[in-house]
Chain A
Amino acid sequence: MSNVILRTEKLCKTFSSGGVQQHVLKNLDISLIEGDFTVIMGSSGSGKSTLLYALSGMDKPTLGEINFEKQNLSKLNNDKLAIFRRNNCGFVFQQVYLLDNMSVLDNALASGLLVNKNKRAIVAKAKQLLAQVGLNEASWGKFPSQLSGGEAQRAGIVRALINSPKIVFADEPTGALNSAASDSVLDVMTEVNQNGQSIVMVTHDIKTALRGNRILYLRDGVICGDLKLDAFHVQHNHARHEKLKAFLAEMGW
C-alpha cells in the first residue's frame, strides 16, 4: 500500500498588495505519495510555484494545514521550518542558486555538513553523488561561474540529494537550460526517482512533465486535474506522451 508523505487540508495562500488581495491557492486538499514523481503544471500565474514552496515549508500558507508525515508544518516558526527543510527536503531551482563563492563540492557540503556531522562520510557521499550526476573530479573544485548551465544544475541536484531528503522539490529545473542539458538533468532526476526518491516538480514543459508518474494541473489556485501515468521509460514512452497530451488538452493547456 502506498504511503502519503505530504498532505494538505484546505490550503490557502493569499497575497496582499496595495490593499488588493489576490487569492493564489484556494482550499487545496492534496496528498502526495511516497516515491512518486509528481509534476505540477498550469499556466503562468496559476499558483504552481506558490504551491511548491508552500508544500516545502519554504513559505507559510495563509490558511489550512500542511502535514508532512505526522508534522503540521503550518504551526512551525521560521527556524523550525529551516530545520525541517534541512532534514527532509531537497531543492532544485530554475536559477540553480549555487553559492557563487563556493566550489561545487563545497556547495554540496554546505548543506550536507549541516545535517551529518560525520565529515568523512558526507564528503564521500558528495563525491559519489557528483560522479553519479556526471560531474567529474575536475569540476568539483570549480566555482559556479565556471560551470555550464547543465553542470550547475546537476551540482544543484547533488546539493538537493546530499542529505537523502524524503522529498525533492524542483521548480522548473530545466527552465533555463538548452535541450541537451535539460535531458541530462532530467535523466538524473528520473534515475533518483527510480531509486525511490519522492520528487515534486513544477514545469510548464510537456517533455519535462513526461518524467513524472502523476500530473497535477492547477488553474486559478485550484487543482482541476490529476493524471496518473506509468513510470517513465525512455524506450516505451509514446503512449504516456499521448495520454499526457490528451489530459492537457482537456485542461485547456
Chain B
Amino acid sequence: MKIVNLAIANIRKGKSATFSLFILIFIAALLLNIGMTVNTKVGTFYDEKVKELNDAHVLMMMNTAEFKQPYEEFLKSYPGVQEIEKENIILMNTAKFRYGDSDMNVGAALFNADDERKFSPLKLIEKLDSIQDDDIYMSNSFKSTGGYKLGDPFTLIYQDKSYSYRIAGFFEATMLGTNSMGIMKFLLPDAAYRQMSTGLGETASGTILSASLMDSTQSTKLVNDYNKKFPHPSTDMISQLFWDMDIETVKNANTMTINIVSMILVAFAAVIVLVSLIVIKFRVTNSIDDGIVNIGVLKAVGYTSRQILASITLQFMLITLSGGIVGVAVSYAVLPVFGGIITSLSGLLWTQSFDAVINAASILIVAVLVMTVTLLSAIRIRKLHPVTALRNGIMTHSFKKNHFPLDRAKGGLQFVLACKTMIMNSKQNLMIAFIIAAITFASVFSIVLYYNVATDKKAFFDLVGVETSNIIVQAKSAEDSPKLLTAIKQMDGVAKTAILDTIPMLLDGQTIYMSLTDDYSMLNNQMVYEGRNPQFDNEIAVSWGTAKLIEKRIGDSVTIEVGEASQSYLITGISQSISNMGQAAYLTLPGVQHVIPDYTGIMINVYLKGIANKDFIQNLNDSYKNLTADIIDVDETLESQSSIYISAVFSVMVMIIIITVLVVILILYLVIKTMILKRKKEFGILKATGYTTLQLMSQIALSFVPIVIAGTIIGGVLGYLYTNSMLTLLLSGAGIHNVQFNVKISLVIMLCVGIIILAYLVSMLVSRRIKHISAYGLITE
C-alpha cells in the first residue's frame, strides 16, 4: 500500500510529464494494436467472407465453345473437392465502364440474377426497393472506390456498343469483386440477361466452373494441376477467353496492399515504442535526480531499495497500463478507417470484432519493454547510500571543459550561450536527435510512398509490373496483328510500339504468367533487376517469385511445355513483379515460337507523343476498326486502378505526419519543461543580471535547433538513401527486390525544414514558461 501511495504521489507531482508520457504510450499502443489487428485479421477476414458468401475456391471461365466435359470431370474427381457447379454466363474479354474518375477496361462476367446457384448466391448488402428491367447488380467495390451509389446510371461498353443500366444493388464477392484479377462480376435480371445474351450471340457465351475444396489452401495447387492436365494456350486459344483463379491467389492479391500498410503501422509503432522507451529512461533518470533527497529520506526512514524501485516501476507501469488500455480502446475508433481501406481494396465489408488476445498482446509488449527500461534506469538507487542522497547525492554534471568560452567563441552572445546549453545536455540531445531522426525517416518514407503512388507513378507501376504504354490495341486475330502493327507504326503521334502479350504457361511444371514481346529494350518498364532481359530465342527471364518456386537461378535451364511441345531455355535475368502473385516469366517472340509456332502476339502497346489518347483512339477507329478487337486507354485504366492505393497510402502518410508532429511537440515539451525546472536557479540568475524572457526563450530554442537540424538531416539523408531499401524489405515477401521510387529531394528538404520550424516554434512556445521565473524567486526560495 505504501508503495502504491508513493507511486501515486510521484504521478501527482509531475502531472504534465505524466500526461506527455501517457500520450506517447497511447500512440504506441494505438498503432501496435491497429497494425497487429489488421495484420492478423486480414487473412481470416477473407476466409470468413468466403464461408459467409459461400463463394467458390476455384473458378474456371471460358468460351462455351471451348468448354469440354473432361474439364468438369477433372474438378469433380480432384481430391478434396467438395462441390462443383457449372453455369452459363456472358463473358466479355474487355468491357469498358466509368470507374472513379476515369474509364476502366477489364473483363466482365455477367450472370443471370434470377438463376438459382449454389456458389455465391445473390445477396445484396444494399438495394433499391423498386425493380426495373434495366437494373444491374454489381460488387461493392463499385460503391467503395468506383464512385457509384444506388440508383446511379451505369453504362457498360462492349465492342463499341453501349449498354445502359440502373444500379439496383451492391453485393460482396471474394472472387470477382475487384479488378485485381482483370475480370469483374455483374448480375442482370433475367429479361436483361437474355436480351444481352441473345444480342451478343456465341462470341460472348461463356461457361463458368466453380468448385469448393475441403481445404481452400489447396486451391492454387488445383489450378496448377488443372493447367498441367489441360495446358493452354494452344495456338488456337490465344485470342479466346480463358480465366482461372483460385481463392488463395485472389486473397493474396487483394490483401497485399493492406498487409504492407499494416506492416508500416507496426514498424512505425516500433519507432514510437522506442521513442517512449528513450523518454521513459530520460524521465526515470530525471525523477531520481530531482527526488534524490526524498529517496535519501525514504531510505533513512527504513524503506528498502526494492520498495523504492517498486514504487518507481509502479509509477511508470500505471502510466503505461492506462496509456496502453486507452490506446487499445481508441484503436477501435480508428480501425474503421483501415476497415474502409480493406473494403476499398477487397470490395468486402469489414466487420470490426473485439480481439482480447491481440489487445492484451499490444499492451503486454509495451508494458514489458517499459518495465525493463524503468528497472534498468532506476537500478542505481540500490547503490545509493541515504547520506549521499540526503546531501543531494550524485553530481549530474561534471564540468571538465569550458566549451564555447565567451571570450574566444565566435558568434553572438545568445548563440554561444545556446551552444553551451546544448553541449551541457549532450546525452539528452543525443536522445532528441535520435528521435527526430527516426520520425523524420518515417515521415520521408511515407511522403515518398505517397508521392510515387499518387503523383509520379512511374516507379510504382514499374514495381507492380505494369507496362506504361498509352494505348493497348488488341488485334482481331493473330493474322491481323502484323498488319495492324505496321499500320499503327505509321500513324501520327506514335513514338514507338511493342507487342506485349501475357499468357499462362507451364514452366517446369508450374503455371506462370509469361510475358512475350519482340524487343524488351523497347519497353518502358525494365523489370529485370539482376542479369538481363532475354535477347535470343533460347533465353528467358523469370521473376523472383518464379525463381523461388522452381528453385532456379541465372544460368540454370527451365522447360516450357505447351501441349506436346516442350523447349528448354536459359535463365538470363531475374525480374520483380507483384502481379500474378509475382509468378511471371519473360520470353522473346522467337523464343515462344519454339513451343507455339507462328505465334506473333496480338496485344500492341502504343506509346504516343504529341497526341491525346482519345484522339489517337478516334483515328485508329476511323482507319482500322476492322483489324481491332479492343482498344484500351492504359493511362485511364491505370488512373482508375491506382485510386484505391492512393487512398490507402494517403491515410498512412497523414497518420505518420500527425504522429511526427505530436512526437516533436511532446518530446520538446517534456525536455524543455524539465530543463526549465532543473535550471530554474540559473535562469533566475540570468534574469537578475538583466536577461529578458525573450532572450532566455531564444537561448533555449536555439540550443535545440542544432540538435533538431542534425536529427532531421540524419533522418532526411537516411530516408533519402534507404527508403527504397526499406520498401524492398517490406515488399520482399511479395517478390520485390529492387524498388526504385523517386525520392524527390525537394520534398525531403521541405519536410526537414517543416520539422525544424515546428521544433523551433514549439521550443519557443514551451519555453514561454520561463516568463514565470522571477529573479526575485532566487531569494525567496
Contacts and interface: CB of A to CB of B under 8 A. Distances in A.
Interface of A: 49, 53, 58-59, 78-79, 82-83, 85-87, 89, 91, 93, 97-103, 105-106, 109-111, 113-115, 119, 123, 126, 141, 143, 145, 159, 171
B690 interface: yes
Interface string B663-701: 000000000000000000110111111111110000000
A143 B690 contact: no
A127 to B, nearest CB: 8
A150 B420 CA distance: 26
Contact of B406 (A59, A98, A110): A110
B685 A113 contact: no
B406 A82 contact: no
12 contacts: A58-B775, A58-B776, A82-B775, A86-B691, A89-B690, A101-B397, A101-B682, A103-B402, A105-B406, A109-B406, A111-B690, A113-B413
Contacts of B693: 78-79, 82
B779 A101 contact: no
Given A97-B684, A110-B406, A114-B413, 6 more contacts: A78-B692, A79-B693, A82-B775, A101-B424, A114-B689, A141-B402
Contact of A97 (B397, B406, B424, B688): B688
Contacts of B420: 101-102
Given A101-B420, A143-B399, A82 B692 contact: yes
Contacts of A53: 776, 779
B419 to A, nearest CB: 12
Report, nearest first, the 5 A-B pairs whose CB atoms are least far apart: A86-B690, A109-B406, A59-B776, A79-B692, A103-B402
A109 B691 contact: no
Nearest to A85: B690
A93 B778 contact: yes
A105 B405 contact: yes
Contact of A106 (B405, B685, B775): B405
B406 to A, nearest CB: 4
Contact of A115 (B407, B690, B692): B690
A207 B704 CA distance: 48
A58 B689 CA distance: 10
B483 interface: no
B685 A105 contact: no
Interface in B372-426: 397, 399, 402, 405-407, 413, 417, 420, 424
Contacts of A141: 402, 405
Interface residues of B, number: 29
B235 to A, nearest CB: 86
Given A78-B693, A79-B692, A79-B694, A101 B399 contact: yes
B772 to A, nearest CB: 10
Q: Which of B686, B689, B694, B776 has the most CB of A within 10 A?
A: B689
B724 to A, nearest CB: 44
Contacts of A102: 402, 406, 420
Contacts of A109: 406-407
A111 to B, nearest CB: 5
A58 B688 contact: yes
A102 B413 CA distance: 13
B771 interface: yes
A155 B774 CA distance: 23
A91 B778 CA distance: 12
Contacts of A103: 402, 405
A159 B689 contact: yes
Given A83-B692, A113-B406, A99 B776 contact: no
A145 B399 CA distance: 9
Contacts of B407: 105-106, 109, 119, 123, 126
B778 A97 contact: yes
A171 B406 contact: no
A83 B686 contact: no
Contacts of A123: 407
A110 B399 contact: no
Contacts of B397: 100-101
B413 A99 contact: no
Nearest to B684: A97
A85 B689 contact: yes
Contact of B687 (A82, A98, A99, A105): A82
A94 to B, nearest CB: 9
A133 B261 CA distance: 69
A83 B424 contact: no
A159 B406 CA distance: 14
B409 to A, nearest CB: 9
Contacts of B689: 85-86, 91, 110-111, 114, 159
A97 B685 contact: yes
Given A58-B776, A101-B397, A101-B399, A83 B690 contact: yes
A82 B686 CA distance: 9
Interface string B257-284: 0000000000000000000000000000
Contacts of B685: 97-99
Contacts of A83: 690, 692
A85 B695 CA distance: 15
Contacts of A78: 692-693, 771, 774
Given A49-B779, A59-B774, A82 B405 contact: no
A110 B686 contact: yes
Contacts of B687: 82
Given A59-B774, A97-B685, A106 B690 contact: no
B34 to A, nearest CB: 44
A119 to B, nearest CB: 7
Nearest to B402: A103
A99 B686 contact: yes
Contacts of B684: 97
A114 B691 contact: yes
Q: Which of B687, B771, B776 has the most CB of A within 10 A?
A: B776
Nearest to B683: A99
A138 to B, nearest CB: 14
Contacts of B692: 78-79, 82-83
A171 B775 CA distance: 13
Contacts of A110: 406, 413, 417, 686, 689
A75 B653 CA distance: 52
